[in-house]
Structure 1
Amino acid sequence: MEFADLVRRRRMTRAYTDDAVDPAVVESALAAATRAPSAGFSQGWAFIVLDTPDTVRGFWEAQSDAALPGGAPDRWLRGMMRAPVVIVPCSRREAYLARYAEPDKARAGLTAAEGEEAAASRWAMPYWHLDTAMASLLVLQSVTDAGLGSCFFGLVPDRVDAVKEYLGLVDGPTEAPSGDRPAPHPIGAITVGHPADPASGARGSARARRRTPWQEVAHRGRWGAGWS
């Protein structure tokens, strides 16, 4: 698929069929994600892949009471829960603190012992979250290129701890090769699957709102100058 077509075709899919997803599609999407840029080439991301009925169900039950047995999921949740794969992209702050404590990054003045608040005060933004978000977009684009659907969505604020516990994202010993003790932080989740009839899922905002042309959001030279 041509890149311009790929960009235009990407949509947030909110309703899926029960058809299985080829594992090769997921692996290709993860490989694409690791091509995202990252500050200092820190690569401070991690991806938890849920691709069995039990693990996917467990995620949704941690995310919403409505997904529990006997619950009453709304139209959005019913459509999303049918996706056979959920990918949870996570950011790893400690990877950036460790990277910027190395000699070639010493001018940044960071140390691996600093916390997120101290690090954030030195940087314009927490790049561990930003870089993971860019990696997530590559997952979405890769899935689109494979002819499937996907949707990035945020975790319910008061259920983040429940989701983290379910996924094992708790500080302490880890089985990860890096051996890092601080747990990665989930920045959201991505459903992946074969799109169902859009009418069977929740209505997306893009159906009711106008997509703003680039000429209305681009400014040449300074804010307010516009493009033409």
Structure 2
Amino acid sequence: MEFTEVVRRRRMVRRYADRPVDPALVDRMLAHATRAPSAGFSQGWAFLRLDTRVDVARFWEVTTPEHADPDGKWLTGMRSAPVVLVPLTSKAAYLERYAQPDKGWTDRDERRWPVPYWYVDAGMATLLILQTVVDEGLGACFFGITPERVDAFRDAFGVPASFQPLGAVTVGHRHPDDLGSKGSPARRERRDVDEVVHRGYWGS
């Protein structure tokens, strides 16, 4: 698929067909994720791969908020995904990398960082997953894990405290009757390029 088409077709899919995903395709998604840029080549990301019915069911069991409607459209659709990928990031990996001799920030002071690149880099890795999904003709949706459920998630899957989940990505074949919810774009127009690009000077 042409890259322009990959970008154009990327959208969040919230309902999936009852079909397995080829494990080789999941391998490719994760391999591409590790090609994302990272500050100082820290590579402080990690990815939890859940692609068995037992593991996926456990994920939803421990991350679903108590107030959520178990029979609601969103949750029912999302639970139909056969694969869940959880991108995580380690701030400690970045602070340690930049304390090494070629960087020299031995105090590990977070104030040295203009923005928390451990989140930026993991976000770029996640986007590569989403783009690979489109290129393979599949559907995906990135969503957050509510803060009150993060500890339960860690306990269920043995995730160390040094890694923070960015959220999760459901992956699967699009349901034939639901090729992807339009979500907010159905209610809000996409901003034109000229509205968000400032050439030479803000507002120009």
**Pair 1:50 & 2:29 matched:** no
The Cα offsets for residues 124-162 of structure 1, whole Å up to 9 and x where unpaired, read as 111111100000000000011000001111111221221
* Matched residue, 2:203: 224
Cα distance, 1:202–1:161 mapped onto 2, change above 3 Å: farther
1:163 to 150, 153, 158: 153
Higher RCO (C-alpha 8 Å, min separation 6): 2
Q: How many Å separate the matches in 2 of 1:30 and 1:200?
A: 24
Cα distance, 1:89–1:67 mapped onto 2, change above 3 Å: farther
Identity fraction in percent: 52
Give the secondary structure class of the aligned counterpart of 1:46. strand
Aligned-residue CA RMSD (Å): 2.0
Further displaced range: 209-218 or 134-143: 209-218
Q: How many Å separate the matches in 1 of 2:165 and 2:127?
A: 15
Cα distance, 1:129–1:143 mapped onto 2, change above 3 Å: same
Q: How many Å separate the matches in 1 of 2:189 and 2:73?
A: 23
2:76 to 72, 78, 88: 78
Q: How far off its partner does 1:203 sit?
A: 5.8
**Pair 1:186 & 2:165 matched:** yes
> TM-score, structure 2 length as denominator?
0.93
* Matched residue, 1:23: 23
The Cα offsets for residues 179-214 of structure 1, whole Å up to 9 and x where unpaired, read as xxxx31101000000011465986611222211121
Cα distance, 1:198–1:66 mapped onto 2, change above 3 Å: farther
* Matched residue, 1:212: 191
Q: How far off its partner does 1:73 sit?
A: 3.1
**Pair 1:101 & 2:99 matched:** yes
* Number of residues of Structure 1 aligned to a counterpart in Structure 2: 204
* Matched residue, 2:87: 89
* Matched residue, 2:10: 10
Which structure 2 residue ranges, 5 or more long, are not aligned? none
The Cα offsets for residues 5-31 of structure 1, whole Å up to 9 and x where unpaired, read as 110011100111110000011000011
